Amino acid sequence: MPLPIVILPGYLESAIAYRQLEQSLQQLDFPTVTVPLRRRDWLPTIGRRPVTSILQQLDQTIKYILRQYNTTQINLIGHSAGGWISRIYMGEKPYLAGGNVKPFLWEGHPLVATFITLGTPHISQERWTRSNLNFVTNNYPGAFYKNVRYVCVAGKTIFGERRPGSWLAYNSYQLTCGKGNTWGDGITPIEAAHLEGAENLVIQGVRHSPRSPGIWYGSPEPLKAWVQYLI
């Protein structure tokens, strides 16, 4: 049987939005569960505050799945912010993003066989997320753990321009990588979604979020491009 999969939702997103992706992976015989987040679970992380509460739920879900399936590893999928949060989870440095908060340490990389990020902004110029992302980039640059297979998926769908229909993409790309006139999924530019040393993919026509109109990374057709990397 293939290794079970744990999905970590994107910022301000709930597990419900990933139900279709869960079902698609289950139909391919991958036991799959999404970290059971609700939108309000993200509220403690707003404003440069640590994402510790999300990491704790990720850890609880992974440990539960390991016990349930009597296995030593899982495949981990992080959508959007869920990707860089997962990189903190895999790490070996005490996590403290700011304030008088006790550092936490998970050292989760031995538990992860394949790690897939979908539209994850691995870099940011935006002041609210920069402290967390700097922690990740400085401590775990690129595809850091050689025992983990990193697959980073980007979308080439909307070119950011200062005109109607492209303003949101332009502003989001600008905040993420410092350049608005570039390609991405409407939120995350391609250059921010890839990591050095990873297997980096670009999928045409996918939008960033499971709630976006049209297709996103987890829709049946785009899924075929990255599911082959799972074991």
Using CA atoms, how far apart are residues 140 and 188, in angstroms rounded to an integer?
A: 20
What share of the chain has pLDDT > 70, as a percent?
Answer: 97
Q: How confident is the model at residue 23 (pLDDT cuts 50, 70, 90)?
A: very high
At residue 102, the pLDDT reads: 64
The CA distance from 160 to 167, in Å, is 7
Read off the pLDDT of residues 95-135 as tens digits, 9 standing for 90 and up. Answer: 975 555 567 899 999 999 999 999 999 999 887 788 899 99
Torsion sign over Cα 205, 207, 212, 216 = positive
Range 54-61 average pLDDT? 97
Q: Could you tell me what percentage of the chain is helix, strand and coil, using 3-state DSSP and rounding each to the nearest 5? A: 35, 20, 45
Tokens matching residue 79: 């959508």
**Could you read off the pLDDT of 70-82 as tens digits, one per residue?**
999 999 999 999 9
Mean pLDDT along residues 159-164: 93
**pLDDT, position 96:** 74
Taking the C-alpha atoms of 7, 139, 127 and 45 in order, what is their torsion angle to the nearest 10 degrees?
A: 40
Q: What pLDDT is stored for residue 99 in this prediction?
A: 54
Q: What is the CATH number of domain 5-154+189-227?
A: 3.40.50.1820
User: What does the alpha-carbon distance between residue 210 and residue 10 come to, in Å, rounded to a whole number?
Assistant: 10
Q: For 150-172, what is the mean pLDDT?
A: 94
Q: Residue 226: is its pLDDT beyond 70?
A: yes
